[in-house]
Amino acid sequence: MKVENFLKFPVRNYMERSGFRVWYEVPFMGKVIDLACLKSRRTTVSVEAKIRGFNEAIYQASVYRLWSDHSYVAVPLSARLAEEQQAMLRKEGIGLMRVSGGRTPHVVEEIRPKKNDALVTSRKRELIEVLVSSKGRGAGHA
């Protein structure tokens, strides 16, 4: 079990409460999306979960904007992001989710993502096809 799983389960629950279906570890375009979310076969959200290496997480989340309506970085509540990193998230339109641990973990959206109007529509359609063609949990659906 990957260390980031303690982030993924609360994020999955958070996204499902918002009406999304959620898949884990989705290979797409040479990357692996930690959590890929789909709502009504129209809205896509990609989440990069990291406990450290936040610059890499921001880079990954910015790449995900090529095919996602919204992109997030999910980190532990206790994570210390430099002001420059937070500024980069805002500039790139990437959201920041902070995940608390403990018995009742929860997610706080510290930075809300901007709707991505510059995504590559054909890539978004490909991602949706990959997700809807997956068969349940065995194919990575959470």
Mean pLDDT taken over the chain: 89
**pLDDT tens digits for range 83-140:** 999 999 999 999 999 999 777 889 999 999 999 888 899 999 999 999 998 754 334 5
Cβ partners under 8 Å of residue 81, min gap 6: 54, 75, 96
> Is pLDDT of 141 > 70?
no
Cα-flanking dihedrals φ and ψ of residue 18, to 5°? -90, 5
| Contacting residues for 86 by C-beta, under 8 A, at least 6 apart | 96, 111
DSSP β-bridge partners for residue 132? none
Please give the model's pTM, rounded to 2 decimal places: 0.90
Q: Which domains are assigned to the chain?
A: 5-135 (3.40.1350.10)
Query: What's residue 2's pLDDT?
Result: 63
* Of 66, 55, 64, the residue nearest 88 (C-alpha): 55
